[in-house]
Amino acid sequence: MIKLAFFLVILTTGGWLSLATLERQAIYPFDATRVTPQAAGATGVREVVQTHDGEIAIVWVAAPKPGKPVILYFHGNAGNLALRAGRFNHFTARGYGLIAPAYRGSSGSTGTPTEAALTADALRLYADLGALIPGLTPARVIFYGESLGTGVALELAATTRQAQPAGVVLEAPYTSLPDVVRASLPRLAPLIPRMTNIWDSATHVKALRAPLLVLHGKQDPLIPIAQGRAVFRAAGSRQKWFVAVRGAGHHNVWRSTVMPRLWSFIDDQSASMR
Protein backbone atom coordinates (compact mmCIF):
# COMPACT_ATOMS: atom_id res chain seq x y z
CA MET A 1 0.00 0.00 0.00
CA ILE A 2 2.72 2.47 0.92
CA LYS A 3 5.72 2.42 -1.41
CA LEU A 4 8.35 2.24 1.30
CA ALA A 5 11.18 2.67 -1.20
CA PHE A 6 10.37 6.37 -1.28
CA PHE A 7 10.84 6.62 2.47
CA LEU A 8 14.23 5.01 2.04
CA VAL A 9 15.05 7.79 -0.41
CA ILE A 10 14.15 10.30 2.28
CA LEU A 11 16.57 8.63 4.65
CA THR A 12 19.44 8.51 2.20
CA THR A 13 19.00 12.15 1.19
CA GLY A 14 18.68 13.37 4.75
CA GLY A 15 15.21 14.72 3.89
CA TRP A 16 16.61 17.40 1.59
CA LEU A 17 14.21 16.45 -1.19
CA SER A 18 10.60 17.58 -0.86
CA LEU A 19 9.14 15.35 1.80
CA ALA A 20 5.62 16.26 0.72
CA THR A 21 6.35 15.11 -2.84
CA LEU A 22 8.00 11.88 -1.74
CA GLU A 23 5.22 11.11 0.71
CA ARG A 24 2.61 11.71 -1.96
CA GLN A 25 4.41 9.40 -4.40
CA ALA A 26 4.67 6.74 -1.73
CA ILE A 27 1.03 6.79 -0.68
CA TYR A 28 -0.68 7.65 -3.97
CA PRO A 29 1.21 5.86 -6.80
CA PHE A 30 -1.92 5.83 -8.95
CA ASP A 31 -2.11 4.81 -12.59
CA ALA A 32 -3.29 7.97 -14.34
CA THR A 33 -4.29 6.09 -17.51
CA ARG A 34 -7.86 6.85 -18.51
CA VAL A 35 -9.65 3.73 -19.71
CA THR A 36 -13.37 3.71 -20.50
CA PRO A 37 -15.57 1.15 -18.74
CA GLN A 38 -16.32 -0.41 -22.11
CA ALA A 39 -12.63 -0.82 -22.96
CA ALA A 40 -12.02 -2.31 -19.50
CA GLY A 41 -14.87 -4.78 -19.92
CA ALA A 42 -17.07 -3.31 -17.18
CA THR A 43 -20.58 -4.37 -18.18
CA GLY A 44 -23.36 -1.81 -17.83
CA VAL A 45 -21.04 0.85 -16.42
CA ARG A 46 -20.75 4.35 -17.86
CA GLU A 47 -18.14 7.03 -17.40
CA VAL A 48 -19.19 10.39 -15.97
CA VAL A 49 -16.88 13.38 -16.28
CA GLN A 50 -17.25 16.11 -13.69
CA THR A 51 -15.29 19.31 -13.13
CA HIS A 52 -14.55 20.90 -9.76
CA ASP A 53 -12.20 23.78 -9.05
CA GLY A 54 -10.75 23.51 -12.54
CA GLU A 55 -9.97 19.80 -12.15
CA ILE A 56 -11.46 16.83 -14.01
CA ALA A 57 -13.06 14.10 -11.90
CA ILE A 58 -13.79 10.72 -13.49
CA VAL A 59 -16.56 8.58 -11.98
CA TRP A 60 -17.78 5.16 -13.11
CA VAL A 61 -21.53 4.73 -12.61
CA ALA A 62 -24.10 1.97 -12.99
CA ALA A 63 -27.76 2.21 -11.98
CA PRO A 64 -29.12 -0.45 -9.61
CA LYS A 65 -31.91 -2.91 -10.27
CA PRO A 66 -35.13 -2.20 -8.33
CA GLY A 67 -34.69 -2.80 -4.62
CA LYS A 68 -30.91 -3.13 -4.87
CA PRO A 69 -28.31 -0.86 -3.24
CA VAL A 70 -25.56 1.19 -4.84
CA ILE A 71 -21.96 0.34 -4.00
CA LEU A 72 -19.91 3.50 -3.42
CA TYR A 73 -16.47 2.06 -4.09
CA PHE A 74 -13.27 3.68 -2.83
CA HIS A 75 -10.37 1.85 -4.43
CA GLY A 76 -6.86 1.15 -3.18
CA ASN A 77 -3.70 2.90 -4.29
CA ALA A 78 -2.60 0.34 -6.88
CA GLY A 79 -3.57 0.72 -10.53
CA ASN A 80 -6.74 2.47 -11.63
CA LEU A 81 -10.47 1.88 -12.04
CA ALA A 82 -9.89 -0.43 -15.00
CA LEU A 83 -8.01 -2.80 -12.70
CA ARG A 84 -11.25 -3.27 -10.73
CA ALA A 85 -13.50 -3.98 -13.74
CA GLY A 86 -13.85 -7.63 -12.75
CA ARG A 87 -15.03 -6.67 -9.27
CA PHE A 88 -17.47 -4.16 -10.68
CA ASN A 89 -18.92 -6.86 -12.93
CA HIS A 90 -19.61 -9.00 -9.86
CA PHE A 91 -21.55 -6.11 -8.34
CA THR A 92 -23.61 -5.29 -11.42
CA ALA A 93 -24.30 -8.98 -12.14
CA ARG A 94 -26.09 -9.11 -8.78
CA GLY A 95 -28.14 -6.04 -9.67
CA TYR A 96 -26.22 -3.64 -7.45
CA GLY A 97 -25.56 -0.14 -8.68
CA LEU A 98 -22.09 1.34 -8.67
CA ILE A 99 -20.44 4.69 -8.07
CA ALA A 100 -16.65 4.42 -8.28
CA PRO A 101 -14.81 7.76 -8.17
CA ALA A 102 -11.27 7.97 -9.50
CA TYR A 103 -9.05 9.82 -7.07
CA ARG A 104 -7.10 12.85 -8.18
CA GLY A 105 -4.24 11.61 -10.34
CA SER A 106 -5.94 8.29 -11.11
CA SER A 107 -7.80 6.97 -14.15
CA GLY A 108 -7.92 10.31 -15.95
CA SER A 109 -8.84 12.47 -12.97
CA THR A 110 -6.57 15.48 -12.65
CA GLY A 111 -5.23 17.27 -9.61
CA THR A 112 -2.90 16.40 -6.76
CA PRO A 113 -3.97 13.72 -4.28
CA THR A 114 -3.79 14.53 -0.58
CA GLU A 115 -5.88 13.41 2.37
CA ALA A 116 -7.64 16.77 2.50
CA ALA A 117 -8.34 16.83 -1.25
CA LEU A 118 -9.61 13.25 -1.44
CA THR A 119 -11.86 13.78 1.56
CA ALA A 120 -13.28 16.98 0.08
CA ASP A 121 -13.93 15.20 -3.21
CA ALA A 122 -15.71 12.34 -1.45
CA LEU A 123 -17.85 14.77 0.54
CA ARG A 124 -18.83 16.67 -2.60
CA LEU A 125 -19.79 13.47 -4.41
CA TYR A 126 -21.74 12.10 -1.43
CA ALA A 127 -23.67 15.33 -1.02
CA ASP A 128 -24.90 15.13 -4.60
CA LEU A 129 -25.56 11.43 -5.21
CA GLY A 130 -28.70 12.28 -7.15
CA ALA A 131 -26.62 13.95 -9.86
CA LEU A 132 -25.16 10.55 -10.70
CA ILE A 133 -28.18 8.32 -10.10
CA PRO A 134 -31.48 10.22 -9.90
CA GLY A 135 -33.29 9.79 -6.60
CA LEU A 136 -30.35 8.15 -4.85
CA THR A 137 -29.98 8.88 -1.13
CA PRO A 138 -27.40 7.72 1.45
CA ALA A 139 -29.92 5.22 2.83
CA ARG A 140 -29.55 3.18 -0.37
CA VAL A 141 -25.74 3.26 -0.48
CA ILE A 142 -23.17 0.73 0.74
CA PHE A 143 -19.61 2.03 1.20
CA TYR A 144 -16.91 -0.35 0.01
CA GLY A 145 -13.38 0.65 1.01
CA GLU A 146 -10.40 -1.25 -0.36
CA SER A 147 -7.03 -0.80 1.41
CA LEU A 148 -6.28 2.94 1.07
CA GLY A 149 -9.98 3.40 0.34
CA THR A 150 -10.96 2.16 3.79
CA GLY A 151 -9.53 5.39 5.19
CA VAL A 152 -11.49 7.45 2.66
CA ALA A 153 -14.72 5.61 3.47
CA LEU A 154 -14.30 6.01 7.22
CA GLU A 155 -13.35 9.68 7.10
CA LEU A 156 -16.38 10.32 4.89
CA ALA A 157 -18.65 8.44 7.31
CA ALA A 158 -17.22 10.35 10.28
CA THR A 159 -17.65 13.71 8.58
CA THR A 160 -21.22 12.98 7.46
CA ARG A 161 -22.34 11.14 10.59
CA GLN A 162 -25.90 12.48 10.22
CA ALA A 163 -26.19 10.84 6.78
CA GLN A 164 -24.86 7.36 7.39
CA PRO A 165 -24.91 4.83 4.55
CA ALA A 166 -26.92 1.60 4.72
CA GLY A 167 -23.74 -0.35 5.41
CA VAL A 168 -19.95 -0.32 5.17
CA VAL A 169 -17.52 -2.98 3.91
CA LEU A 170 -13.84 -2.54 4.71
CA GLU A 171 -11.23 -4.69 2.99
CA ALA A 172 -7.83 -4.64 4.73
CA PRO A 173 -8.37 -1.55 6.87
CA TYR A 174 -5.54 0.14 8.76
CA THR A 175 -5.60 2.09 12.00
CA SER A 176 -3.59 4.94 10.43
CA LEU A 177 -0.87 5.37 7.84
CA PRO A 178 1.76 6.12 10.51
CA ASP A 179 0.82 2.78 12.09
CA VAL A 180 1.38 1.06 8.74
CA VAL A 181 4.88 2.58 8.62
CA ARG A 182 5.58 1.51 12.22
CA ALA A 183 4.54 -2.06 11.43
CA SER A 184 6.33 -2.35 8.08
CA LEU A 185 9.57 -0.42 8.66
CA PRO A 186 9.90 0.56 12.30
CA ARG A 187 13.34 2.09 11.70
CA LEU A 188 11.57 4.86 9.79
CA ALA A 189 9.49 5.83 12.83
CA PRO A 190 11.47 9.10 13.30
CA LEU A 191 9.92 10.35 10.04
CA ILE A 192 6.35 9.82 11.19
CA PRO A 193 5.92 13.25 12.88
CA ARG A 194 6.58 14.83 9.47
CA MET A 195 3.83 12.89 7.68
CA THR A 196 0.84 14.97 6.55
CA ASN A 197 -1.38 12.16 5.20
CA ILE A 198 -2.57 10.37 8.33
CA TRP A 199 -5.95 8.76 7.54
CA ASP A 200 -6.71 8.14 11.22
CA SER A 201 -9.22 5.32 10.74
CA ALA A 202 -9.03 4.13 14.35
CA THR A 203 -10.54 7.47 15.38
CA HIS A 204 -12.90 7.98 12.45
CA VAL A 205 -14.50 4.54 12.82
CA LYS A 206 -15.76 5.46 16.29
CA ALA A 207 -18.36 7.70 14.64
CA LEU A 208 -19.65 4.89 12.41
CA ARG A 209 -23.21 3.78 13.14
CA ALA A 210 -23.99 1.80 9.99
CA PRO A 211 -23.65 -2.01 9.95
CA LEU A 212 -20.05 -3.01 9.28
CA LEU A 213 -18.30 -5.94 7.62
CA VAL A 214 -14.51 -6.18 7.78
CA LEU A 215 -12.56 -8.54 5.49
CA HIS A 216 -8.85 -9.03 6.20
CA GLY A 217 -6.29 -11.57 5.01
CA LYS A 218 -4.62 -13.48 7.82
CA GLN A 219 -1.27 -13.29 6.00
CA ASP A 220 -1.50 -9.66 4.90
CA PRO A 221 2.16 -8.48 4.74
CA LEU A 222 1.31 -4.81 4.13
CA ILE A 223 -1.43 -4.09 6.66
CA PRO A 224 -1.24 -6.54 9.58
CA ILE A 225 -4.56 -8.17 10.46
CA ALA A 226 -4.10 -6.80 13.98
CA GLN A 227 -4.82 -3.33 12.57
CA GLY A 228 -8.00 -4.58 10.93
CA ARG A 229 -9.10 -6.08 14.23
CA ALA A 230 -8.34 -2.82 16.03
CA VAL A 231 -10.48 -0.85 13.57
CA PHE A 232 -13.26 -3.40 14.03
CA ARG A 233 -13.14 -3.17 17.84
CA ALA A 234 -13.21 0.63 17.75
CA ALA A 235 -16.19 0.80 15.37
CA GLY A 236 -19.29 2.44 16.81
CA SER A 237 -21.55 0.15 14.78
CA ARG A 238 -23.94 -1.97 16.85
CA GLN A 239 -24.00 -4.59 14.10
CA LYS A 240 -20.55 -5.64 12.92
CA TRP A 241 -18.80 -8.74 11.64
CA PHE A 242 -15.12 -9.58 11.12
CA VAL A 243 -13.96 -12.16 8.57
CA ALA A 244 -10.34 -13.30 8.86
CA VAL A 245 -9.52 -14.81 5.48
CA ARG A 246 -7.32 -17.86 5.86
CA GLY A 247 -4.45 -18.07 3.37
CA ALA A 248 -5.09 -14.57 2.00
CA GLY A 249 -2.58 -11.74 1.83
CA HIS A 250 -3.32 -8.17 0.82
CA HIS A 251 -4.59 -8.62 -2.75
CA ASN A 252 -6.46 -11.93 -2.75
CA VAL A 253 -9.19 -11.52 -0.14
CA TRP A 254 -12.00 -12.16 -2.63
CA ARG A 255 -12.12 -15.97 -2.33
CA SER A 256 -14.89 -18.51 -2.85
CA THR A 257 -15.15 -18.93 0.93
CA VAL A 258 -15.58 -15.19 1.46
CA MET A 259 -17.94 -14.11 -1.30
CA PRO A 260 -21.11 -15.63 0.23
CA ARG A 261 -20.44 -13.60 3.40
CA LEU A 262 -20.01 -10.43 1.36
CA TRP A 263 -23.16 -10.94 -0.71
CA SER A 264 -25.16 -11.89 2.38
CA PHE A 265 -24.09 -8.73 4.17
CA ILE A 266 -24.98 -6.48 1.24
CA ASP A 267 -28.29 -8.25 0.61
CA ASP A 268 -29.24 -8.02 4.29
CA GLN A 269 -28.79 -4.25 4.16
CA SER A 270 -30.78 -4.17 0.90
CA ALA A 271 -33.72 -5.86 2.60
CA SER A 272 -34.16 -2.90 4.92
CA MET A 273 -34.44 -0.55 1.93
CA ARG A 274 -37.57 -2.11 0.54
pLDDT of residue 188: 76
**Per-residue pLDDT at 50 exceeds 80:** yes
pLDDT band at 72 (very low <50, low <70, confident <90, very high): very high
Angle at 231 between CA 230 and CA 232, to 5 degrees: 90
DSSP state letter for 126: H
- Report the C-alpha gap between 232 and 214 in whole angstroms: 7
Q: What is the pLDDT of residues 181-195, one digit of tens each?
A: 999 878 878 888 989
**Mean pLDDT, residues 140-161:** 97
Tell me the CATH number of domain 32-271, given options 3.40.50.300, 1.20.1090.10, 3.40.640.10, 3.40.50.1820.
3.40.50.1820
pLDDT band at 56 (very low <50, low <70, confident <90, very high): very high
Q: What is the pTM of this model?
A: 0.94
Amino acid at 139: A
- Report the C-alpha gap between 229 and 49 in whole angstroms: 37
pLDDT of residue 16: 47
pLDDT of residue 20: 78
Angle at 227 between CA 221 and CA 228, to 5 degrees: 95
Burial class (CB in 10 A: 0-12, 13-18, 19+), 233: exposed
CB of 1 within 8 A of CB of 250? yes
pLDDT band at 7 (very low <50, low <70, confident <90, very high): low
